[in-house]
Structure 1
Amino acid sequence: MACATAWSPADQDGFICIYPDYLNNKKTITEGRQIPISKAVENPTATEIQDVCSAVGLNVFLEKNKMYSREWNHDVQYRGRVQVQLEQEDGSLCLGQFPSCKSVMLYAAEMVPKLKTKTQKTGGGDPNLQQGEGSKRGKGKKKK
């Protein structure tokens, strides 16, 4: 079902590039987002995109030191590019459910929030509780 050919730098036919900025809901279209903001994800990483695409059976290759040209922040968390193979050498699709680059990006944006790494980051304490406690302390000081 998945493509068996290995990625080689000399032969990039059939591969697409996905930068995390393409799926980031914090970016505007002019800053590089390529999908609707309603379907975009908050700060995805190249590793998360790679995990999602490889889990569905696509042939992927992660380039950790590549950066999107419009990204001004050079921190490590903003680096990375994922090469995804859509077509085999004969021109046929690797997976029929992904006929285009946009279909892969929409799928990745849908699945990245479901990863364990994303659910653990957002699954911490309730921020409203912490704010409520702080405001109670502030009100107590004013009364005294």
Structure 2
Amino acid sequence: MARSLNNQDRFVCIYPAYLNNKKTIAEGRQIPISKAVENSTATEIQDVCSAVGLNAFLEKNKMYSREWNRDVQYRGRVWVQLKQEDGSLCLVQLPSRTSVMLYVAEMIPELKTRTQNSGGADPSLQQAEGSKKGKGKKKE
């Protein structure tokens, strides 16, 4: 995403580590651990921001400087637009970086990808198929 200097104060950057309850403040968590979520991804952050009506741009291959784990699930950052060009807020209920992070952390557990994994019928079928494949490989 191309951004000029005057756009910089209209956007905030959010890395998944900011919301991760497995991280300490020294490792980059920026919200209270009681409100943080387990292993959020940049895609989930973008999904929540887009769903509420904020402009959110995902940069998949960016890494948080304090992140030691180079796995794909820990990659990415999201630029979220807080203000319009005239300086007015995009959403009055989300006026700051902190308010956006707290809202996103609250909504991530409600995402379909999170709720299906915890007890929907389809994922259990997928897990069963995956485990059958695993068992087949072990028998060989």
For the criterion TM > 0.5, the same-fold answer is yes
> CA shift at 1:9, angstroms?
2.6
Aligned-CA RMSD value: 1.4
1:105 maps to 2:101: yes
Structure 2 counterpart of 1:95, which letter? L
Counterpart of 2:3?
9
Q: Distance in 2 between the 1:52 and 1:116 partners?
A: 11
Counterpart of 1:65?
61
Q: Is the 8 A contact 1:20 1:46 kept in 2?
A: yes
Please identify the structure whose Cα radius of gyration is greater. Answer: 1
> CA shift at 1:8, angstroms?
3.3
> CA shift at 1:120, angstroms?
2.0
Counterpart of 2:32?
36
Residue ranges of structure 2 left out of the alignment (5+ in a row): 125-140
Residue ranges of structure 1 left out of the alignment (5+ in a row): 1-6, 126-144
> CA shift at 1:91, angstroms?
1.2
Q: TM-score, normalised by structure 2?
A: 0.80
Q: Distance in 1 between the 2:85 and 2:100 partners?
A: 19
Q: Is the 8 A contact 1:60 1:84 kept in 2?
A: yes
Q: Distance in 2 between the 1:28 and 1:13 partners?
A: 27
Q: Distance in 1 between the 2:77 and 2:68 partners?
A: 15
Among all aligned residue pairs of Structure 1 and Structure 2, give the percentage whose two residues are the same amino acid: 78
Q: Is the 8 A contact 1:47 1:62 kept in 2?
A: yes
